[in-house]
Amino acid sequence: MAEKKKNELWEWTKALLIAVVLAAVIRYFLFAPIVVDGLSMMPTLHDQDRMIVNKLSYKVGEPERFDIIVFHAPENKDYIKRVIGLPGDKIEYKNDTLYVNGKAYEEPYLEEYKKQVIDGPLTDPFTLEEKIGSETVPEGHLFVMGDNRRFSKDSRHIGTVPFEKVLGKTNVIYWPIEDIRTID
């Protein structure tokens, strides 16, 4: 009888250890939770939204324009921003319009805010050279911006983001329950 209890305890201990190791591997290498802190990604993301970061996404693929990424920022914080410029891109804003390599791009995620702004453009005009001292996004870096352009600390202030600082892509909100959705 004592042998059976000892055996059952060992089986439970093994199951618990396997579960802990699996959870650690999944969180460290594949997916991790993150909480949106602040209003810099409004109206797309709200303060205190809880999201899943896909850490595998850029181990098997490359960032694409308009992806929402999580990266280690200079202040020892993780930031959530949108990829605007890829390596080699020439970025410019004129008349509240994004130009990449001279071509105008639509930003449908900004339409709601653009309609609300009455005192000038949502995104102040700038060239990449004015912001980072280079005409193009350097190799191995990304130019990122928050959707709430007037209230976002992003590449216009902190410079470009090196690939090695990028944790992964995020596009799933899992909390609060009424906001569960995927984002483009």
Active-site choice (57, 81, 155, 169): 81
C-alpha separations of 18 from 4, 23, 28, 34, 98 in Å: 21, 9, 15, 24, 49
CA distance 132 to 36: 26
Active-site choice (40, 57, 152, 155): 40
Closest CA to 146 of 55, 54, 72, 83: 83
First-residue to last-residue Cα distance in the chain? 59
Q: Is 40 a catalytic residue?
A: yes
The residues annotated with a catalytic role in the active site are 40, 81
